[in-house]
Amino acid sequence: MNPLQPVRGTQDLLPAAHRRHRAIVECARSLAERFGYAEIATPIFEFTEVFARPIGEATDIVQKEMYSFPDRGGDEITLRPEYTAGIVRAVISNGLTQSLPLKLFASGPMFRYERPQKGRFRQFHQIDVELIGVAQPLGDVEVIALGAGILGALGVLAKTELEINTLGDGPSRASYRTALVEYYERRRDGLSEESRDRLGRNPLRILDSKDPGDRRINEDAPSFAAFLTPEAQRFFGAVQEGLTRIGIAYRLAPRLVRGLDYYCHTAFEFVTDALGAQGTVLGGGRYDGLMGVMGGPETPGVGWAAGIERLALLIDEPAPPPRPVVLVPLGDAAEAMALTLAQELRRDGFTVELGYSGNLRRRLQRADKINARAAVIIGDNELQRGAASLRDLDSGEQVEVPFAALKERLETFR
């Protein structure tokens, strides 16, 4: 252990990397507001039951991935591994079920103990959208359209493909689960250890196993489509029709599943082949049973989350910050004036850096290093003449500008 290194699976977001993260969040926030979504923030940690109850005590997330610990008061606390459960908890505990429908956007860090990979960290960041209280297929279409809009605004939509599937309704899943268990039981010896473990508690998850042996078995697994009720078929048909109507292309992905019982109807992912094995950049689905599982009233919901780290690997370099104007005071009197001038210029919207120490050459070298646009040089001679020396750091041209006209002359360097 080296305490001067970040913990494995975490990273320092230095200015250039943080600029990418901020560009993603600000873009997503702007698009979400255009769709009528209001921003929410929930605590980074919750009582463990908030996540363990809906996710399931026997799932890999709860057993292997959650950062859970007793706090000093003896309560079991968990750093949030995902957003949806915490947002639903906030809706219940704040009495917001009386104000449905709710359209909510959030962004922030998540925590899972996983093997770090490209674009995957133990502390990672997500943008998240939840539409709570809308049971109609139009809700599914809207949240997918918002996801596509954000990916498009970020310039990465063309690098992804939308995959969709239906998880049906309760009767559909019950019939399908029975058929799947019968199918896999006859092939139990060929399943991976992980899939044999899932067979009794989460058989749908076997369908998206990455194990080569499981994949071969899955090729002949029963199709969910054969078990859909007429109502589930109509729902999924309406989602497909809505996506087609607004020009969002998609591909049917019969093996795209969600293993938890509160998920139903639409499941979707925007996937890419530009990130290797970690191909999902945005994924979600309908979770009509979640609020009831958490102790609230039965309430429909649909939403998605997207990994900021993965998106950051796909987007173009964001626009750099504004190039500053550097004030270079030489002498005590000039430094006093520069301090006041810097405040005035910042109030007027300029980005201003003060050259804190060193001779003129060193301060101008510093100005070049931070990519400054112009330098305002103030020394004793300039103070006596009531004018500053203004140097264009791109062209090298230097002119003398009266202090009274300095702000106006600096407008060309914004």
Distance CA 334, CA 382 (A): 9
Q: What tens digit of pLDDT does each residue of 254-282 get?
A: 888 876 768 899 999 999 988 876 689 99
Query: What average pLDDT does this structure show over 23-44?
Result: 98
Say yes or no: 243 and 331 in one domain.
no
The answer to whether 206 and 195 are in contact (CB under 8 A) is yes
Domain extent at residue 142: 15-169+229-314
According to the model, what pLDDT value does residue 377 have?
Answer: 94
According to the model, what pLDDT value does residue 61 have?
Answer: 63
Say yes or no: 278 and 349 in one domain.
no
Residue 233 reports pLDDT greater than 60:
yes
Edge-to-edge strand ranges of the sheet holding 398-402: 352-354, 325-329, 374-378, 387-392, 398-402
- 54-57 contacts, C-beta under 8 A, 24 or more apart: 54/85, 54/88, 54/260, 54/262, 54/290, 54/293, 54/294, 55/81, 55/85, 55/260, 56/201, 56/202, 56/260
Does residue 185 lie in a domain region?
A: no
Domain boundary among 250, 283, 314: 314
What separation, in Å, do the N-terminal and C-terminal C-alpha atoms of the chain show?
Answer: 47
Say yes or no: 164 and 283 in one domain.
yes
Q: What tens digit of pLDDT does each residue of 64-100 get?
A: 788 999 999 999 999 999 999 999 999 999 999 999 9
Say yes or no: 239 and 91 in one domain.
yes
Does residue 133 lie in a domain region?
A: yes
More confident residue, 205 or 393: 393
Say yes or no: 259 and 335 in one domain.
no
Say yes or no: 283 and 378 in one domain.
no
Distance CA 314, CA 308 (A): 10
More confident residue, 32 or 331: 32
**Residues 6 or more apart in contact with residue 108 via CB below 8 angstroms:** 41, 44, 83, 125, 126
Mean pLDDT estimate for the chain: 91
Percent of the chain, pLDDT > 90? Answer: 67
Query: What average pLDDT does this structure show over 317-341?
Result: 92
**Residues 6 or more apart in contact with residue 300 via CB below 8 angstroms:** 132, 133, 134, 135, 139, 286, 288
Does residue 6 lie in a domain region?
A: no
**Residues 6 or more apart in contact with residue 234 via CB below 8 angstroms:** none
Q: Where are the alpha helices (DSSP H) in 38-166?
A: 48-55, 60, 84-93, 137-153
Distance CA 394, CA 371 (A): 9
Residue 38 reports pLDDT greater than 90:
yes
Say yes or no: 111 and 51 in one domain.
yes
Report the number of distinct structural domains present in the chain.
2
Give whole-number Cα distances, 67 to 145, 271, 275, in Å.
33, 27, 26
According to the model, what pLDDT value does residue 302 have?
Answer: 98
Query: What average pLDDT does this structure show over 54-58?
Result: 60
Residue 131 reports pLDDT greater than 90:
yes
According to the model, what pLDDT value does residue 58 have?
Answer: 46
Give 320's DSSP letter: P
Name which of 306, 11, 320, 266 is nearest 156 in CA terms: 306
Q: What tens digit of pLDDT does each residue of 298-308 get?
A: 999 999 999 99
According to the model, what pLDDT value does residue 357 have?
Answer: 79
Name which of 309, 24, 325 is nearest 151 in CA terms: 24
Say yes or no: 283 and 388 in one domain.
no
Assign residue 343 the CATH number of its domain. Answer: 3.40.50.800
Q: What tens digit of pLDDT does each residue of 313-325 get?
A: 999 999 888 999 9
| E strands present in 116-262 | 123-132, 161-166, 251-252
Domain boundary among 314, 346, 377: 314
Least reliable range by pLDDT among 10-19, 51-60, 82-91, 374-383: 51-60
Give 64's DSSP letter: I
Residue 59 reports pLDDT greater than 70:
no
Strand partners, 374: 325, 392
More confident residue, 108 or 119: 108
Characterize the bridge pairing of strands 123-132 and 102-111.
antiparallel
Say yes or no: 72 and 139 in one domain.
yes
Name which of 256, 236, 254 is nearest 244 in CA terms: 236
According to the model, what pLDDT value does residue 314 have?
Answer: 94
Using pLDDT thresholds of 50, 70 and 90, give the confidence band for residue 237: very high
Does residue 223 lie in a domain region?
A: no
Query: What average pLDDT does this structure show over 142-168?
Result: 96
Does residue 183 lie in a domain region?
A: no
Say yes or no: 378 and 249 in one domain.
no
Assign residue 253 the CATH number of its domain. Answer: 3.30.930.10
Does residue 1 lie in a domain region?
A: no
Domain boundary among 291, 314, 337: 314
Say yes or no: 280 and 153 in one domain.
yes
User: Two tokens at 407?
Assistant: 């702000």
Least reliable range by pLDDT among 46-60, 148-162, 280-294, 389-403: 46-60
Say yes or no: 329 and 292 in one domain.
no
The answer to whether 230 and 160 are in contact (CB under 8 A) is no
Q: Where are the alpha helices (DSSP H) in 283-349?
A: 290-293, 308-314, 332-347
Does residue 143 lie in a domain region?
A: yes
Characterize the bridge pairing of strands 45-47 and 161-166.
unpaired
Does residue 218 lie in a domain region?
A: no
